[in-house]
Chains A and B, each alone.
Chain A
């Protein structure tokens, strides 16, 4: 027989303003086996916890019900408290009378009535609770970082510096990501390459870091501390261990007609290429869709010129399987496609470019060697129009609903850098709002307006079209209530940011939750911002949401700290609320194994004694280390053999009965 204590929390006025907490405590005393009930202002505070501990000892409680906030908030806190008093932590139940009651009701009578029902249900459940012991599992002390941009590089360096092995998987032939494509970085205008490339070299040279470039994650199995990941190392057709990076193959390749991805397609590259001069590793890759040798068997020029015989046309994709304790998602972003924005003439008029293309046009290592020349005729533009919020902040089907966060700042940067190099350029920026929160950010933007004389126009652009060699821009000047028409030479679109297209597939593989925009969601928006709700998965950089470089680097460091905290442990306590199959009821039908998202159910043939002999039956066995306790198997099991510890069918029915009474 249980001796149950009920503790009702006021949560200041959060609960007490809508729920008569004393009435709930009084009602609790009427419940079977409840020997003690009380209320207190802040149950989670130290004195609140002491109150619980003292009551357990004084009344010899065997079960505890706490009527408070969501178990997501303080279940761990209260489990630790009851454990201190010598009780099994799973002899605790929480009735959520805040999020699911006081916060959503206004009427105190209704709120109190519901709180009492929720309390009754929790008491009914705890009557059937049994002590549970969590199992332990070992931690593989190696971290996988998916994505080798600034976010991934920074996380990897920080984790490796703490002494743990890190592998970076990057799908492009080089690490560096989008930051390598940028010209200067706001607000201090350091050259992006100058601050990034040393970090790329550090990552490659670090004895704890292994780079898997031109590689993708193919499959993920396992759970926190024990992930097994299959990495597909795509055929490069160049032996990394032999290649010296001299680049002669890239010069001699006759197929120089491929759009150069690194320069946003603004110039051409060969079929064998090194993405950019500072690439890490500086090993070329053959584009199999362009290479004549791979397509027709003829050519082979690169191989003839290679002095170290590093070219290998027979190379095949390689599958590597490795074990990791933690996985960091740093898959980054892309600009959205602009094919639904016909009015802006992107793709129709070559002088209408995206902001990332403009970065390349400004960059000394870009297609124009840093001379700002417009793509159509190679002339210097005299009038440039920048358009903000292209595809951001909308709610129709073609726009993203969020603010892309970095565009206001990089547009001010573009405008100032252009004015620095070409002072007689006229620059117009169409903006809806200028958003520059951040250290020294607003000062940076004001400099563009006040010192550089950049014309900021409050309004959006409605139409862009070519006329007599000019790019005509028709827009609103809302502060003058006028429609303006600017004959420009170039138009730069601050295009919305979206997560990389690989994110969705990866999210499914990792069972890591994502929002409707395919950004990875954090475990708690404020208190756990770099962890995925899936244990052992951490988030770094734009994969989690739009952010600038300083913020990305801070977040990358924070993710690394969380990874280090996990890898520093030798053992992890598991969740004892896992599924269990009653072998006397199981008929081996495999239905549970088919619905299990974690592959936690296996089958065994077991001998059972029956009257007059022995029979062998096929039964389900749950791997408790792999099971995450989702309960899918328990509801699908036709014979009722599968049950979830801590949430047994009997416990759930007892709760339902209590509510329906």
Chain B
């Protein structure tokens, strides 16, 4: 059972992500497609299922929320429009907002770039940090 605080947090995650994990038919296509699968201790399909079941605590402390590449392959291929990447991102936002770390200006980004970084990740970083 999740606490009131956890329930509020799940409501917030669902609101931010615009996702409805109840739509999930547990096909696992998100995790089948995920390039960061090996890095994540919780995989995209688990985010959908655990958030649906109210098991939010392990996700909040997981490394997986920082390992997601935001490539959106899971979202693109999900047959049920569950948007796992948005769920993962919403969990991450819940964590860093509590830590008051949701601040980054576009000027901070260039020094963090390296040559191998895919362009998509840069775009994603803007999306994540410029709000």
Interface residues of A, Cβ cutoff 8 Å to B: 343, 389, 393-396, 399, 432, 458-463, 474-476, 478, 481, 483
Chain B residues touching A, range: 20 to 34
B103 proximal to A (CB < 8 A): no
Given A476-B28, A476-B32, A483-B32, check contact A462 B73 (CB 8 Å).
Answer: yes
Partner of B79, one of A393, A459, A474: A393
B85 at the interface (CB under 8 A from A): no
In this complex, the member of A460, A463, A478 whose beta carbon has the largest number of chain B beta carbons within 10 angstroms is: A460
A394 to B80, CA, bound (A): 5
Determine if B23 and A395 form an interchain contact, defined as CB atoms under 8 angstroms apart: yes
- Chain A residue, CB-CB nearest to B79: A394
CB contact under 8 A between A343 and B33, given known A389-B27, A460-B27 = yes
B26 neighbours in A (Cβ, 8 Å): 432, 478
Given known contacts A462-B31, A462-B32, A481-B43, A432 and B80 CB-to-CB distance under 8 angstroms: no
Known: A432-B25, A432-B26. A476 touches B78 (CB 8 A): no
Q: Which residues of B contact A462 (CB under 8 A)?
A: 29-34, 73, 77
CA distance A519 to B118 in the complex (A): 45
In the complex, A553→B43 CA distance in Å?
A: 45
B86 within 8 Å of A by Cβ?
no
Q: Does B92 contact A (CB under 8 A)?
A: no
Interface contact A432-B23, CB-CB below 8 Å: no
- Given A396-B80, A461-B32, A483-B38, the answer on whether A476 and B73 have CB atoms closer than 8 Å is no
Task: Indicate which residue in A343, A395, A399, A459 contacts B28 across the interface (CB closer than 8 Å).
Answer: A459
- In angstroms, how far is the closest chain B Cβ from the Cβ of A341? 9
B-side contacts of A474, CB under 8 Å? 32-33
Chain A residues with CB under 8 A of B81? 394-396
Interchain CB contact under 8 A, A476 and B80:
no
CB of B79 within 8 A of CB of A395, answer: yes
CA distance A393 to B43 in the complex (A): 22
Among residues of A, the one whose C-beta sits closest to the C-beta of B31 is A476
Check if B32 sits within 8 Å of A460, measured CB to CB: yes
Bound complex: CA A407 to CA B26 (Å): 18
Residues of B near A483 (CB, < 8 A) are 31-32, 34, 37-38, 43
Q: Top 5 nearest A-B pairs by Cβ distance?
A: A462-B33, A462-B32, A476-B28, A394-B79, A460-B29
In the complex, the answer to whether B32 meets A459 with C-beta atoms within 8 Å is: yes
Say how far B63's CB is from chain A's closest CB, in angstroms: 16
Closest chain B residue to A392, Cβ basis: B79
A460 cross-chain contacts in B, Cβ below 8 A: 27-29, 32, 79
- List of A residues within 8 angstroms of B79 by Cβ: 389, 393-396, 399, 460
Contact status A478-B28, CB under 8 Å: yes
